[in-house]
């Protein structure tokens, strides 16, 4: 039977009009896993006895234990709709916002997002985050409202109350869609509606669902559904209105196939020259064109090694091809190609354009790589909605395990580019940085459990930033031999420009004209935008000098000194962000031998640090939005857990039978929050956090923080000269 299904998938892979590439966007616990399992079971891909137990999507052991989905795992299934068989490729997205980078990547590879919302809880912060990510990537939404059985059985709602509640969920989701994609909402049917058939509802647990088209076909209305549920007649409802049919019909009917979507999406996700044959073959989903494959995730298979999964936009991918990997020098040879059937990888001979493929042999690829048969402009740099905010050290308990630990850490950072791995050269420790305490905990547990390497970990350390608060005066930097001088000012960049840089909408990889336009659009004046010499993180170097002899040949060193100065800010050697730096003037020695790296780099560094201090550089700390759901009798202690952490409670309101507390707190203070909240509320509270960027620390906290970091890093303890403004 499995063989037959594989053959059918292979047949369908060549018919782009029958393919749907989709993702599920949901808040944790709203039922994504249960839904996926029952879709797979309904489509005959896994046995229905196993659905629910098998947890096809949660393949990693730690995910099953924790009940959260961490890596984007992938499944393919077939579904017959209007007498035509369809191939549905489902890319999994993680359910915890600590893993936001994976979500964005998954959304790049799909054309439709099935938004799953718990009917009782309604839309939650993570529903919003994930839906925003989908819309930002140009992915069309449809809505499945889950756990409707609870409205009937637990809340004893009648047809009117139920409809009201469903309408309110639909309204919330539409508000999000309109906010992010107004044009498509108004004009292209992106508004989700019962009438259009872009909303379905039901119970993933009891395996039934309905929608307006389904009600019209079967004559089963709300009243009947309530009767089936109350009279213990679920089996019959399941037979008449099976979940997988209703949901997959909606997918087949309303999500665009690759031929329809690629012409629209290629210009949004790819910045290369749209007049080339390559661009044309991507828009046309041409299986005879050059291979263009965007890797969305890397997983490690104990036998096959690294498996790169992603979307094939053009060409046909086959074993033995030598393909370029963006950001690396050489080529990798494809060892095998396959698809994920019910979560298991099945090798096939070839995969044509428009599909999701699982490829082995691409050793140099990381999540986000562009892999292609010709050298090409890569897909946009993958947007990282949140940068790492927390670091901890990891050491193998026995020296023998060290090589294995290093290899595992390299793999981990390939699988999840939101994780960074570094070696502290002074102590030899390995440092891993990620999105939150839980994120790092999951990674270290994976090293211990899956790789069997006992490790010792350090205390989690928060990553800070440094940023200037005002424009500086001109500051001179002098080389050690006193023959070279640089004159520099700094000023803060506007929030709009910083965001443009963060989103990769202006970068040095893009054509100059496009970059200028993007910066001007974000508010930079025309002259400045024409003098951009380099971009580093969220900082920009402007060269305002005119006709200085030898500066051209020295510029590379100037940039190097500038980058060094920004990587290790003057206060506590934390990264500098959001700064515009202008080089106004320079004096250079005639003779190249007297203006080498040992002269220029320290001079530029001195000038930049001096100017940053003159512009009142300050420490910024990462903050998180926090939401707690808690029974009202525990509300006081719960909100106290936010307030007691230098936090602020912004809102408290009732939702269903629970109180919701919303606030903000510094990441540093949130360490240990989970266990403190549990004891403060007898374990009755559930909570979420979401990284909310960086904020300037209060002046009175700055000296202490700077001293602590300097001490930890083994730097001199006193504040640098000129920092007397706190």
Distance CA 551, CA 530 (A): 18
Q: Which is nearer to ligand GDP, 73 or 600 (CB)?
A: 73
Q: How many residues does the chain have?
A: 726
Report in angstroms how near the CB of residue 670 gets to ligand GDP at its nearest: 22
| Residues in contact with 563: Cβ distance below 8 Å, sequence separation at least 6, in sequence order | 534, 536
Structure token pair of residue 71 = 């890596």
Q: Which residue has the tokens 């000012």?
A: 489
Classify residue 378 by its DSSP letter: P
Residue 30, marked binder: yes
Residue 94, marked binder: yes
Structure token pair of residue 508 = 């040095």
Name the site residues for ligand GDP (rule: CB under 6 A): 26, 28-34, 67, 69, 95, 146-147, 149-150, 203-205
Residue 32, marked binder: yes
Report in angstroms how near the CB of residue 34 gets to ligand GDP at its nearest: 3
Distance CA 640, CA 636 (A): 6
Q: Which is nearer to ligand GDP, 161 or 553 (CB)?
A: 161
Residue 226, marked binder: no
The kind and range of the H/E element at 560 are helix 551-567
Q: Which is nearer to ligand GDP, 203 or 705 (CB)?
A: 203
Report in angstroms how near the CB of residue 220 gets to ligand GDP at its nearest: 18
Determine how many CB atoms are found less than 10 A away from the CB of residue 29: 17
Residue 366, marked binder: no
Report in angstroms how near the CB of residue 67 gets to ligand GDP at its nearest: 6
For residues 617 and 486, the answer to whether their CB atoms sit within 8 Å is no
Residue 149, marked binder: yes
3-state secondary structure 7-37: HHHHHHHCCHHHEEEEEEEECCCCCHHHHHH
Sign of the C-alpha dihedral, residues 236, 238, 242, 247?
A: positive
Residue 363, marked binder: no
Report in angstroms how near the CB of residue 310 gets to ligand GDP at its nearest: 23
Classify residue 576 by its DSSP letter: B
Residue 554, marked binder: no
Task: Give me the helices (H) in 14-158, please.
Answer: 32-42, 61-66, 100-108, 125-136, 148-153
Q: Which is nearer to ligand GDP, 240 or 686 (CB)?
A: 686
Distance CA 561, CA 541 (A): 11
Q: Which is nearer to ligand GDP, 338 or 343 (CB)?
A: 343
Distance CA 53, CA 180 (A): 37
Report in angstroms how near the CB of residue 133 gets to ligand GDP at its nearest: 16
Task: Give me the helices (H) in 192-309, please.
Answer: 212-218, 222-230, 234-240, 243-254, 258-269, 277-283
Residue 330, marked binder: no
Residue 147, marked binder: yes
Q: Which is nearer to ligand GDP, 229 or 393 (CB)?
A: 229
Structure token pair of residue 154 = 């637990």
Q: Which is nearer to ligand GDP, 205 or 701 (CB)?
A: 205
Report in angstroms how near the CB of residue 204 gets to ligand GDP at its nearest: 4
Distance CA 563, CA 549 (A): 23
Report in angstroms how near the CB of residue 35 gets to ligand GDP at its nearest: 7
Structure token pair of residue 473 = 């005066």
Report in angstroms how near the CB of residue 169 gets to ligand GDP at its nearest: 14
Residue 93, marked binder: yes
Q: Which is nearer to ligand GDP, 210 or 606 (CB)?
A: 210
Sign of the C-alpha dihedral, residues 306, 307, 310, 315?
A: positive
Classify residue 615 by its DSSP letter: T
Q: Which is nearer to ligand GDP, 57 or 432 (CB)?
A: 57
Residue 254, marked binder: no
Please state the residue numbers annotated as binding site for GTP: 26-33, 92-96, 146-149
Please state the residue numbers annotated as binding site: 26-33, 92-96, 146-149
């Amino acid at each position: 039977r499995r063989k037959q299904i594989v053959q059918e998938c292979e047949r369908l892979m060549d018919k782009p009009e029958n393919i749907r590439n989709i993702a599920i966007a949901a808040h944790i616990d709203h039922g994504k896993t249960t839904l996926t399992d029952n879709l797979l079971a309904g489509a005959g891909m896994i046995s229905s006895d196993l659905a629910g137990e098998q947890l096809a999507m949660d393949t990693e052991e730690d995910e099953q234990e924790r009940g959260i989905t961490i890596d984007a795992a992938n499944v393919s299934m077939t579904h017959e709709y209007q007498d035509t068989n369809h191939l549905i490729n489902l890319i999994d997205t993680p359910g915890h916002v600590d893993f936001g980078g994976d979500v964005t990547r998954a959304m790049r590879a799909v054309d439709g997002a099935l938004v799953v919302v718990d009917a009782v809880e309604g839309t939650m912060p993570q529903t919003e985050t994930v839906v925003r990510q989908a819309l930002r990537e140009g992915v069309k939404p449809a809505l499945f409202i889950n756990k409707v059985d609870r409205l009937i059985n637990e809340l004893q709602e009648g047809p009117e109350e139920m409809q009201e509640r469903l309408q309110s969920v639909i309204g919330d989701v539409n508000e999000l869609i309109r906010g992010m994609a107004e044009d498509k909402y108004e004009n292209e049917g992106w508004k989700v509606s019962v009438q259009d058939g872009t909303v379905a509802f039901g119970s993933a647990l009891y395996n039934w669902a309905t929608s307006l088209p389904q009600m019209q076909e079967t004559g089963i209305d709300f009243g009947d559904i309530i009767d089936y549920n109350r009279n213990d007649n679920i089996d019959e409802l399941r037979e008449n209105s099976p979940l997988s049919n209703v949901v997959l019909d909606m997918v087949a009917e309303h999500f665009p196939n690759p031929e329809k979507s690629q012409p629209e999406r290629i210009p949004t996700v790819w910045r290369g020259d749209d007049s080339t044959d390559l661009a044309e073959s991507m828009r046309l989903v041409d299986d005879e064109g050059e291979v263009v494959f965007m890797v969305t995730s890397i997983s490690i298979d104990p036998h096959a090694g690294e498996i790169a999964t992603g979307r094939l936009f053009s060409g046909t991918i086959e074993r033995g091809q030598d393909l370029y990997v963006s950001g690396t020098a050489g080529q990798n040879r494809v060892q095998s190609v396959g698809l994920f059937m019910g979560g298991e990888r099945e090798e096939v001979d070839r995969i044509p354009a428009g599909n999701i493929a699982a490829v082995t042999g691409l050793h140099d690829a990381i999540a986000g790589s562009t892999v292609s048969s010709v050298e090409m402009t890569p897909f946009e740099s993958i947007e990282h909605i949140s940068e790492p905010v927390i670091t901890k050290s990891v050491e193998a308990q026995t020296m023998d395990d060290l090589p294995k630990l290093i290899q595992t850490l390299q793999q981990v950072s390939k699988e999840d580019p939101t994780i960074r791995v570094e070696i502290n050269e002074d102590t030899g420790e390995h440092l891993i940085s990620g999105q939150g305490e839980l994120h790092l905990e999951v990674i270290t547990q994976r090293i211990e459990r899956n790789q069997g390497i006992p490790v010792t970990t350090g205390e989690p350390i928060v990553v800070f930033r440094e940023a200037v608060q005002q424009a500086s005066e001109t500051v001179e930097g002098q080389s050690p031999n006193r023959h070279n001088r640089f004159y520099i000012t700094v000023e803060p960049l506007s929030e709009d420009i910083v965001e443009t840089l963060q989103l990769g909408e202006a970068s040095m990889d893009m054509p100059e004209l496009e970059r200028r336009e993007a910066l001007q659009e974000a508010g930079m004046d025309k002259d400045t935008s024409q003098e951009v010499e380099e971009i580093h993180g969220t900082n920009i170097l402007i060269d305002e000098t005119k006709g200085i002899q030898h500066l051209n040949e020295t510029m590379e060193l100037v940039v190097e000194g500038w980058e060094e100065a920004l990587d290790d800010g003057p206060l506590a050697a934390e990264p500098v962000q959001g700064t515009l730096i202008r080089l106004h003037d320079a004096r250079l020695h005639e003779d190249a031998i007297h203006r080498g790296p040992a002269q220029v780099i320290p001079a530029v560094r001195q000038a930049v640090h001096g100017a940053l201090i003159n512009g009142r550089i300050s420490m910024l700390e990462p903050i998180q939005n926090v939401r707690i759901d808690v029974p009202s009798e525990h509300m006081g202690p719960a909100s106290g857990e936010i307030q007691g952490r230098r936090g602020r409670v912004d809102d408290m309101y009732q939702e269903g039978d629970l109180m919701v507390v919303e606030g903000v707190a510094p990441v540093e203070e949130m360490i240990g929050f989970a266990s403190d909240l549990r004891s403060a509320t007898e374990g009755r509270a559930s909570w979420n956090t979401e990284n909310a960027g960086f904020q300037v620390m209060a002046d009175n906290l700055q000296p202490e923080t700077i001293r602590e970091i300097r001490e930890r890093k083994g730097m001199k303890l006193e504040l640098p000269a000129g920092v007397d403004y706190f």
